[in-house]
Amino acid sequence: MTRFAAPIAEQIWDMKYRFKQADGTPIDQTVEDSWRRIARDLARAETDPKTWEDKFYSALEDFQYLPAGRITAGAGTARQVTLFNCFVMGTVPDSMAGIFDMLKEAALTMQQGGGIGYDFSTIRPRGADVKGVAADASGPLSFMDVWDAMCRTIMSAGSRRGAMMATMRCDHPDIEAFITAKSDPARLRMFNMSVLVTDPFMEAVKADGSWELVFDNKVYQTVQARDLWNKIMQATYDYAEPGVIFIDRINKANNLSYVEQIAATNPCGEQPLPPYGACLLGSINLARLVKNPFEKDSELDPQALKDLVATAVRMMDNVVDVSKFPLEAQAQEAQNKRRIGLGVTGLADALLMLGLRYGSDEAARQTEHWLHAIARAAYLASVDLAKEKGAFPVFDAEAYLASGTMMDMDADVRDAIREHGIRNALLTSIAPTGTISLYAGNVSSGIEPVFAYAYTRKVLQKDGSRTEEEVVDYAVQMWRDKFGDKELPDYFVNAQTLPPSDHVKMQAAAQKWIDSSISKTINCPEDISFDSFKDVYMQAWDLGCKGCTTYRPNDVTGSVLTVSESSDKAPGETADAPHESDMDENGAEVVYMSEPLDRPQSLEGHTYKLKWPDSEHAIYLTINDIIINGHRRPFEVFINSKNMEHYAWTLALTRMISAVFRRGGDVSFVVEELKAVFDPRGGAWVQGKYIPSILAAIGGVIETHMIATGFLEGEGMGLKSDPKAEVVSLNAPRSKPCPSCGQYDLQMIEGCMTCRSCGHSKCG
């Protein structure tokens, strides 16, 4: 017998969370070993660790409580990694030395596996005077480019690229450049970006008033607020960014408004944090707590929920004490306020088990009721911890209870806090759960609707072959187990068919009892009108949301797996997606292969000689092309040198680049990555141009070849479109390939593209 509800769950555990030796030999033999490892480590903070270890284990058992991935993978391993998911870094000083001190702190944090958020509003705008050097400032966008380059070179713990959030106030003089920055498909790829929207700005938008762009009390420009709002809307309509954060609303509601000011969030937006603030995340799996699913008397067990929340709060509070931190300032901030972010996953599945249609008024009321129960249980559990272990150090009862969130809290909870204090300053947050929801048996993510009730994924076997397996939503599988092939009821709706207003309604219902914020994607149809799209954001503002993130599939953002409207298949099945032919701006078709192409008997190519100064032997590069639909594209590369010191890395580069080329798509990034490599010993001048490394020189040769064959338009340009894919494979869905496993199973979940085949996500 296995605890895993689906094969994909076990595979996610093995890839992401199973503790292994450096050579890959498993230390956790079973998932029970993983639960025991986590429980034992978090119980170290208790005076009676054995008793609490068993209680913590019971909470983890059968995926009822799901600590965030950092905790699940790192707790009890003695590795030098933080158990906190992400951080907002210190305030960026408006000075060159201060800016690069902040860059160093960011690198150290990302090196330990933490995502980071920054407010770049504190940097003077482009063109402003720089006193003492007779120069003009380059502006915050130029420094964001530096951060972006740093992030590309830092691998987060668990072999994951770091995630970053950049924010900028709506009154910063460079806000228009910030809004449109991602119209360049090659720029700021490592950032999520959001505009900090203030209450006066929203009032000016509604009144069609003017709006001043200001820095350091100097007005640089006056614009119409509605024009600026429309530019934000147009950018996110076209490029899915920037997001919108209602920053004044966040600060007014913050329990700690008396000791901190928030100006940034973590990468997915669910944790608005002060300088050096950290987010500690975990989720209650609501789908596991429903009694008698699909029956008339079905309900989410209220006592089980209360008990589980209390144990989860204690576990998360202990993480503050056992975790390592990249910076001492982060440790101090966490210890002083002990904020945690307890959220949920499996909400949509739980609603289905009660016969409720996601997005309906009844489902919204049920969601608000459940989140209220969780908030009550969490706050009362934290009061009990304060009785036992003391309140958080900067607790001030009257100031705390006067905050926006606490003013709406139940009277008995307020009275308990006034009398005994509270252990954790903030307690609730709804984080992205894309990977841990797969690990828990493919339950619905966070408070998102079910994306697809069933889909087929290809699984790479040890012998190199691929097999197909069906991945079924947790609630749908329960329905099948109970009713066999009986048709799914009408209340089974999914993300493909829901109107955006239903998404906003559910986010607002949950937000009422979440003291931090919510990571949620409001899926919009590709053909939504611009005015209707803008209405989504106004609805989010009017209903009290703290922010808004949308996703509209288009030629720039790409498409995710969809169900054909004309399909005659049952609601629980996915339809075959159509094939599409996409063109880059040069008119050449861009083709992605779901599996590598076999090598033809012969290929056309060119061989290039690269002579590197101070090297005795030249390097020879042979680049061969394949013809697809009448257009040439690179297929393989061979790198040779008589210098035996070059043998290992040239062979590795040959194999890796050729493997990438054979996958198809826009492979111009290979050039960009190679050209960005700097040799710490110094580069060389080649034909009047400084080349930072021999690898950069190889990248330049490949770029020259791509230009000559028409694959690229010019130097440094790449394919300037980000096309939807024509997938050369039967029954292949339309989407971008996963950068980790290459499968076409990406979906937008809680603001992050997440692969359903391997669990890869930029955000966690």
State the catalytic residue, choosing from 241, 260, 270, 703.
270
Neighbouring C-alpha atoms within 13 Å toward the C-beta of 586 = 18
Is there a catalytic annotation at residue 487?
no
CA angle in degrees (0–180, nearest 5) for 620-664-242: 115
**Helical (H) or strand (E) element with 672:** helix 669-675
Spatial separation of the C-alpha atoms in residues 290 and 482, rounded to whole Å: 15
Three-class DSSP category at 640: strand
Is there a catalytic annotation at residue 554?
no
Q: Would you tell me the crossing angle of helices 530-542 and 225-239 to the nearest 10 degrees?
A: 110
Is there a catalytic annotation at residue 266?
yes
Spatial separation of the C-alpha atoms in residues 185 and 88, rounded to whole Å: 26
Best CA proximity match to 244, nearest among 280, 183, 193 = 193
- The answer to whether residues 262 and 546 touch, using CB atoms and an 8 Å cutoff, is no
State the catalytic residue, choosing from 254, 255, 266, 494.
266
Spatial separation of the C-alpha atoms in residues 309 and 69, rounded to whole Å: 18
Spatial separation of the C-alpha atoms in residues 394 and 425, rounded to whole Å: 9
Q: Which residues of 23-53 are buried (b: 16+ CB within 10 A; e: fewer)?
A: eeeeebeebeebbbbbbbbbbebbeebeebb
- The answer to whether residues 72 and 17 touch, using CB atoms and an 8 Å cutoff, is yes
**Helical (H) or strand (E) element with 244:** strand 243-246
Spatial separation of the C-alpha atoms in residues 497 and 407, rounded to whole Å: 37
Q: Structure tokens of 61? A: 């058992």
Write the DSSP string, 39-53.
Answer: HHHHGGGSSSHHHHH
State the catalytic residue, choosing from 86, 151, 170, 268.
268
Residues carrying an active site annotation? 266, 268, 270
